[in-house]
Structure 1
Amino acid sequence: MDGSPQIEIEVLSSLSQIAAGDWDACACPEAADGGRPNDPFTTHRFLSALETSRSVGTGTGWQPRHLVARSGGEIIAVAPLYAKGHSQGEYIFDHNWAHAYERAGGRYYPKLQMAVPFTPATGRRFLTRPGWEETGRAALVQGAVRLAEDNGVSSVHVTFCTEGEAREGAAMGLMHRVSQQFHWFNEGYADFDDFLGALSSRKRKNLRKERERARDFGGEIVALTGDDLKPEHWDAFWVFYQDTGARKWGMPYLTRRFFDAVQETMRDDVLLALAVREGRPVAGALNFIGRDTLYGRYWGCREDHPCLHFELCYYQAIDYALAHGMKRVEAGAQGQHKLARGYLPVATHSLHWVRDAGFAGAIAQYLRAERQAVDEEIEVLTSWGPFRKTQVEEQE
């Protein structure tokens, strides 16, 4: 008789169907000591804020189908999973896959997405209790694939997972995809000037000029977190977010109620950098705070001022990371302009399962070629980075 534990999989249509403590025991066991989670995005409070604000759910194309794995009645693993009716808000782009499959007569949507909606931040996606890592991951992968097969769903996508999860998922037969972002790394700098000292002379001068120009907008820059955040700050940021969302995506992904939920349950997880002129915020950048990483998420403005975007999004984030001994700043998706500001290219990872064997074979071939191109681009961009190469270069 097989002595392996019997695992049961339950599918939840809402985070309200599981206690916050049970979910977080899998999502962020490192926070059991009262410290911060590695990242706040898979916590019960963040995912619940998306649901209670109706940023996800009926009519959004993100229908919750969260997985819960139990052994002997004990919850051992969970995963944020959504039935998707489109490919928006994911940042790992598969629109071409969808178009190709549908041109061939297939039905790509709905699909299943194991992800944090609208959040291109690397973190664990197979959320397991300590000691249940291998069993829990296998159960969640099998549960997601079984759910897709039972419902005739085209595919399962696990996006912005960790590199370790990507290796383990590939060993279980999932296809591994590599993409690229730009992150800032704290190499033990004492302060911002110390960081500037690591840059080439020309880049160092450019960054100083940008900070000076940004601060000439006619007001002050404030960085707010915790109880310093007030409802009126979210009123201002909502205007900024709507403007950016309308220009980038056609309409904002998040509802106004999401920011109210953040104020109520997550204000200690937030850093909001605002440019304030004559008592009125004119631009802002929203960050979420992890245990050793700051995650830049949204930016917007009601007035255009030179270099203010760079100051609020990139330099204020670096300032905060340095002041709090953080190891990294993730500045969100895309953007080669980040390279000149000290953010280096890094690989990000996702996993994919496709029901149609022929289509899966074509995607696997594409991913091999894409990975080689991404690896080469990271190597080239890193060589173009702003950091000093030699003393001779510095003297030039």
Structure 2
Amino acid sequence: MNREVEIQVVDTLEDISPEEWNRLAGANPFVSHGFLSALQDTHCAVKRTGWRAHHLILKRNGVFAGAMPLYLKSHSRGEYVFDHAWADAFERHGVRYYPKALSAVPFSPVTGPRLIAAEHADRVLLARGAIELTRQLDISSLHVLFPHAQDIEALKDAGYMLREGVQFHWENLPGAGYENFDAFLATMSHDKRKKVKQDRRRVTEAGVTYKWLRGRQIDKSALDFFYGCYENTYKEHWNAPYLTREFFGQIHADAPDNMLLVIAEADGERLACALNMIGGDTMYGRYWGTREFVSGLHFETCYMQGIAYCIEHGLARFEGGAQGVHKMSRGMLPTPTWSAHWIADQRFAHAIGEFLDEETAAMTQHIEELEAHTPFRKIATD
């Protein structure tokens, strides 16, 4: 039977059914219809901020069959995969790098679907459709950040170049899982376990206690407190925050159970807060901030409390966010991440391809070296 396939470009998701979108997108909260719509509705990811939506929609016989979140970018901020050297090289040779096409979740360096479709063939169609759009717009390049493994296969088939990176993720024991937090600590080497306990003791001796608030337990005052902490983190680096208080309110209203706040308190007052997102069996560490410095507070609030929550609630993975070798000492292990790139000008494509070959070899070696310094006890084998 002949099935008519069409790829459309849309600048908003308002005409796409949230139910149909989310059915294909799966449990990842960052590619949900509500999350992506909130970024646009609250003016966080719009043309004015350098994120102009050009989402691809795949239809078969007029029925929604897939999508690819896509933006035209006028800068490289908020991406966490750094291509500034590429942009400089283009400009030095008198070639415009911006605008560029980007498939990613704005301000969110987390792995997830980028080619949202049920079949490999449809994911390849979307990947090739994005290349064709890049050609039609006569822009420099197309980039896909933090795709899932199934997307990587489709991107390779469509002719993209791959770039390897690394993040630090925690995983529960396959099958049985950790019985409790102490069981997790018991798997760590003596030195690392001792350091974790010392840091946790400092926080406890400072009078800090914790509350976990999820879903409807999060009220306006809790969200307001979190946003104040979030703003403080950016102010400390002399930057304006990417996301607004309205954005966090909208995603909480749309899917409250996706949001977890870890709130630290001392002397009856809220002291610090971390926001994590939950989808399926995975938790994603995203933002944190504090009103004052307490030794060990950052690690406890962002990582130890997150791991403890995952163990208690049976979650299999905790993605700790971008960068941070220091996370290894908290039980998070190096995990390869990927991006995919298509460059219109073949001269630059060849040069970048050679660079990526060398960089990937170096990154693979780096990850192997990190793995040799595991924080966990070595188990003797016969």
**What TM-score does the superposition give when structure 2 sets the normalisation length?**
0.95
Contact 1:231-1:263 within 8 A present in 2 as well: no
Contact 1:215-1:308 within 8 A present in 2 as well: no
Structure-2 residue corresponding to 1:239: 228
Percent of pairs with identical residues: 43
Q: Output one character per residue of 1:7-61: Cα deviation in whole Å (capped at 9) or x when no partner.
A: 2111111121312122212212xxxxxxxx1x21101011111111111113110
Structure-1 residue corresponding to 2:88: 99
Structure-1 residue corresponding to 2:137: 151
Superposition deviation, residue 314 in structure 1: 0.4
Which of residues 106, 121, 141 in structure 1 aligns to 2:127? 141
Count matched residues. 378
Q: Output one character per residue of 1:46-102: Cα deviation in whole Å (capped at 9) or x when no partner.
A: 111111111111311011111101111111111111110100111111111111111
Structure-2 residue corresponding to 1:119: 108
Contact 2:171-2:318 within 8 A present in 1 as well: yes
Which of residues 341, 345, 353 in structure 1 aligns to 2:334? 345
2:305 maps to 1:316: yes
CA–CA separation in structure 2 for the residues paired with 1:17 and 1:108: 32
CA–CA separation in structure 1 for the residues paired with 2:235 and 2:83: 22
Superposition deviation, residue 5 in structure 1: 3.7
Contact 2:200-2:296 within 8 A present in 1 as well: yes
CA–CA separation in structure 2 for the residues paired with 1:284 and 1:208: 21
Q: Output one character per residue of 1:163-184: Cα deviation in whole Å (capped at 9) or x when no partner.
A: 2322331122110111000001
Structure-2 residue corresponding to 1:31: none
Q: Output one character per residue of 1:133-189: Cα deviation in whole Å (capped at 9) or x when no partner.
A: 123212211221111111111111110001232233112211011100000111121
Which of residues 258, 261, 275 in structure 1 aligns to 2:264? 275
**Which secondary structure does the structure 2 equivalent of 1:303 belong to?**
coil
**Which secondary structure does the structure 2 equivalent of 1:353 belong to?**
strand
Structure-2 residue corresponding to 1:33: none
**Which secondary structure does the structure 2 equivalent of 1:310 belong to?**
helix
Superposition deviation, residue 4 in structure 1: 6.4
CA–CA separation in structure 1 for the residues paired with 2:272 and 2:107: 21
**What TM-score does the superposition give when structure 1 sets the normalisation length?**
0.92
2:269 maps to 1:289: no
Which of residues 36, 53, 60 in structure 1 aligns to 2:49? 60
2:160 maps to 1:174: yes
Which of residues 360, 368, 379 in structure 1 aligns to 2:368? 379
Which of residues 20, 23, 31 in structure 2 aligns to 1:22? 20
- Per mean C-alpha deviation after superposition, the further-off stretch among 216-225 and 79-88 is 216-225
Superposition deviation, residue 249 in structure 1: 7.2
2:77 maps to 1:77: no
CA–CA separation in structure 1 for the residues paired with 2:203 and 2:237: 23
Opposite residue 9 of structure 1, the aligned amino acid is I
Superposition deviation, residue 391 in structure 1: 6.3
Opposite residue 14 of structure 2, the aligned amino acid is S
Opposite residue 280 of structure 2, the aligned amino acid is R
2:191 maps to 1:202: yes
**Which secondary structure does the structure 1 equivalent of 2:243 belong to?**
coil
Structure-2 residue corresponding to 1:32: none
Structure-1 residue corresponding to 2:5: 7
**Which secondary structure does the structure 2 equivalent of 1:330 belong to?**
strand
- Uncovered stretches (5+) of structure 1, i.e. residues with no partner: 29-36
Opposite residue 282 of structure 2, the aligned amino acid is T
Opposite residue 213 of structure 1, the aligned amino acid is R
CA–CA separation in structure 2 for the residues paired with 1:71 and 1:328: 35
**Which secondary structure does the structure 2 equivalent of 1:260 belong to?**
helix
Contact 1:7-1:139 within 8 A present in 2 as well: no
Which of residues 283, 303, 320 in structure 2 aligns to 1:331? 320
Structure-2 residue corresponding to 1:217: 206
Contact 2:124-2:154 within 8 A present in 1 as well: no
CA–CA separation in structure 1 for the residues paired with 2:235 and 2:136: 37
CA–CA separation in structure 2 for the residues paired with 1:216 and 1:14: 50
Contact 2:127-2:154 within 8 A present in 1 as well: no
CA–CA separation in structure 1 for the residues paired with 2:158 and 2:47: 32
CA–CA separation in structure 2 for the residues paired with 1:26 and 1:189: 31
Superposition deviation, residue 124 in structure 1: 1.2
CA–CA separation in structure 2 for the residues paired with 1:246 and 1:10: 40
- Per mean C-alpha deviation after superposition, the further-off stretch among 204-213 and 247-256 is 247-256
Contact 1:207-1:341 within 8 A present in 2 as well: yes
Structure-1 residue corresponding to 2:293: 304
Q: Output one character per residue of 1:104-143: Cα deviation in whole Å (capped at 9) or x when no partner.
A: 1110000111111111111111001x3xx12321221122
**Which secondary structure does the structure 1 equivalent of 2:159 belong to?**
coil
Q: Output one character per residue of 1:185-220: Cα deviation in whole Å (capped at 9) or x when no partner.
A: 111211111111111111111111111112233242
CA–CA separation in structure 1 for the residues paired with 2:268 and 2:348: 57
Opposite residue 12 of structure 2, the aligned amino acid is S
Opposite residue 16 of structure 1, the aligned amino acid is E
- Uncovered stretches (5+) of structure 2, i.e. residues with no partner: none
